[in-house]
Amino acid sequence: MKSCCFLHHFSVLLSLSTIFSSAIAFDYADALSKSLLYFEAQRSGRLPYNQRVTWRDHSGLTDGLEEGVDLVGGYYDAGDHVKFGLPMAFTVTMLSWSVSEYGEEISYVGEMEHAFEAIKWGTDYFIKAHTSPNVLWAEVGDGDTDHYCWQRPEDMTTSRRSFKIDENNPGSDLAGETAAAMAAASIVFRKNNPHYSHLLLHHAQQLFQFGEKYRGKYDKSVGVVKNYYASVSGYEDELLWAALWLYKATDKEEYLEYVINKANSFGGIGWAITEFSWDVKFAGLQIIASKLLEEKKHKKHSHIQQQYRSKAEHYICSCLNKNNGSTNVDRTPGGLLYVRQWNNMQYVSSAAFLLTFYSDFLKKSNQKITCHGGIVDHEELFNFAKSQVDYILGSNPKNMSYLVGFGPNYPKRVHHRGASIVSYRENKGFIGCTQGYDYWYSRNGPNPNVLIGAIVGGPDNQDEFNDDRANYVQTEACTYNTAPLVGIFAKLNFLSSNNPPLISSF
């Protein structure tokens, strides 16, 4: 990563960020409610009676039929209709982490049931997709043929062929992330649905064993995914990540030992990373390990803990522009973290979550971190995370909310098939593969359906944003953009409400 700017620019960026942030008071409760609504718009399968996004209807009802398996359900990842296993699993992991960490704050807004539903829609699908201990269905649909068509999901005519990983075609990264998602979700459902929680844990443990025993990258086994969700970071981070979540869910030492023993050979304490995403889990792993291994019962692992923590704090310092030289994350003139051109907001939302989580850890343990550029306390860390969230909500040079449906000014031409075509509920007339391109894709007007709660790809490195349906780099939204912000919106709402301390129920 290149350094975004020289140190003397840093104070200018901070000043800009402060000006934007102090100018607007946001309704974080509204942002939370809208963010959870978005997942209902992304549902595949038979929609439930309490579906709130009424411009959607049933879709993908024959998924898996060709292969003799029931793969109906789950989520479309973005504006198309392929069900990609890896980003879907990461989305569920982050939703579950949000709820397990900030559940009381979500309950305070009255949104816990919707959060449970968002998670369960994903985990119900994973249970179906895990048809035997060493078989996991990785994808439904094909990105290439899907992208030839511009149709509502209810009208789909594209291939719904399904692809799997198994003993002969391994995918440790996909098995690991799905195991992490189910383990994290099992924590969420432990009290209100113990049977379901136990079932999720059973699947998570089997999937971890499968991924560990039959090692390999899933994009080698499922070649069609390479142009869309290639596993660039390999599978080691997902296996460590899965083991860590299984330890959190079970308290079984064997999983912690795995995270300790493989820390070096799998890169857990080797990789100094400046992004956290559906592909690269190292920073999240390092941050959880830093907090977990701080506990007294883990003191025998303190030498490994310190190395995990060193890498975790490298990530944090890079986000704060306080690392040495070229290992800082770039920023736009308006102060937004900028990792790369395509769908940059995914890295912003995931960074905001990790920084908030680590700020809580520093506050509770009364600690600070030392970056090359100085000492950082929990408050500075949290304030920076908040500045990123506020930028997304409209505190930026364009005064544009990148959370669709939030505030007076937000993207109206989101790159999303279902949102950009008249609702199936309003007009059941079939819209063909190219017909959607001919009439709906090229329309200048706003989408007929508002994709409430979606976070689009966002502005470029100069804070510029072109609200154009064809500009998919900036206007396409993904489930993993929104998922990390669910908990933070709840926390920010609670803090802004000046409420008494919450009693933890997780």
Q: Which of 67, 104, 166, 467 is catalytic?
A: 467
Burial (0-12, 13-18, 19+ Cβ within 10 Å), 398:
middle
Active site residue 313: no
Q: Which pair of structure tokens corresponds to residue 439?
A: 């009439």
| Element at 246 (helix H, strand E) | helix 236-250
| Element at 495 (helix H, strand E) | helix 485-496
Active site residue 146: no
Active site residue 415: yes
* CA-closest candidate to residue 55, choices 430, 427, 424: 424
* CA-closest candidate to residue 275, choices 334, 332, 352: 352
Round to the nearest angstrom and report the end-to-end CA distance of the chain.
Answer: 37
| Element at 476 (helix H, strand E) | none
Q: Which of 130, 314, 415, 416 is catalytic?
A: 415
Euclidean distance between CA atoms 133 and 129, whole angstroms: 11
Q: Which of 40, 63, 77, 80 is catalytic?
A: 80
- Is the Cβ–Cβ distance between 290 and 334 less than 8 Å? no
Per DSSP bridges, beta strands 374-376 and 83-84 are unpaired
Active site residue 467: yes
Q: Residue 178: helix, strand or coil by DSSP?
A: helix
- Is the Cβ–Cβ distance between 152 and 419 less than 8 Å? no
Name residues whose C-beta falls within 8 Å of residue 380's C-beta, 6 or more positions apart in sequence.
Answer: 320
Euclidean distance between CA atoms 122 and 196, whole angstroms: 13
Strand extents, DSSP E, 114-211:
136-140, 162-165
Catalytic residues: 80, 415, 467, 476
